[in-house]
Amino acid sequence: MPSRTPTEPTRSGRPRSAEADAAILEATRESLVDLGWSKLTMGDVATRAGVAKTTLYRRWAGKNELVVDAVAVLFDELELPDLGSLPADVEAVVLQFAALLERPETKTALMAVVAESTRDEALRDRIRDSIVARQKHLVLQGRERAQLRGELPSEPDAVVAARTADLIFDVIAGAVVHRTLVSAEPVDSDWARRFTMLLLSGLGAAAAGRQPGARGPGESRPTGAQKPGGSV
């Protein structure tokens, strides 16, 4: 493959308009931080970006479309690190995703546009195309690496493999969104570790892993007792 060198944008229209778009999306995120989704207006974004409202409407149908694009840029920053093992990679991406959801500009906006999209098919497709579908590559990449390391079996049936990737994506993204935004509890490294254990090994193993040796129902173990002595 030929190596790609970064090309300087020298031609007319295109780069300038990409720059202008980026500035508008940046202004949208600022407005989300200050006002939240419900109070954000196209007028406020236009003022912050120093452009006419008509410029915004030429490019975006309304505030929901603008907000989806503004948030999608942040999702594009998610990266699957290569930490040498599947559990480490999953934990890292879970923490990254949680940190992204905790940002004030995504926190309200993501659920708000999803709520709006339930009554707006075009908006739903936009979310699917620019956020959901784009981030699936993280699952595919993680699986490929894990298969190369021998941590996961290969999946020769492409249809089944794609379906499993979709499932994994919904489970990871859904659990982190629900924990952070619905249960409104923090995703810290302990939660990320326990979630990853559950995802990779399943419920039986996750429950047993916390408590070596099965006990009969009704038997209790006093917390803190039976620690191996020695280190204090």
Minimum separation from the CB atom of position 214 to a copy of itself (A): 4
For a copy of itself, the closer of residues 140 and 175 by Cβ is 175
For a copy of itself, the closer of residues 5 and 211 by Cβ is 211
Residue 8 has what DSSP assignment?
P
Residue appearing with tokens 């020298």: 10
For a copy of itself, the closer of residues 16 and 221 by Cβ is 221
Minimum separation from the CB atom of position 88 to a copy of itself (A): 14
Q: Is there a contact between 70 and 105 (Cβ–Cβ < 8 Å)?
A: yes
Minimum separation from the CB atom of position 141 to a copy of itself (A): 15
The H or E element that residue 80 is part of is none
For a copy of itself, the closer of residues 61 and 182 by Cβ is 182
Best CA proximity match to 44, nearest among 53, 66, 125: 53
Q: Which residues contact 40 (CB under 8 A, 6 or more apart)?
A: 28, 31, 32, 63, 67
For a copy of itself, the closer of residues 59 and 169 by Cβ is 169
Residue 2 has what DSSP assignment?
P
Minimum separation from the CB atom of position 98 to a copy of itself (A): 12
Q: Is there a contact between 112 and 38 (Cβ–Cβ < 8 Å)?
A: yes
Minimum separation from the CB atom of position 69 to a copy of itself (A): 16
Residue 186 identity (one-letter amino acid): P
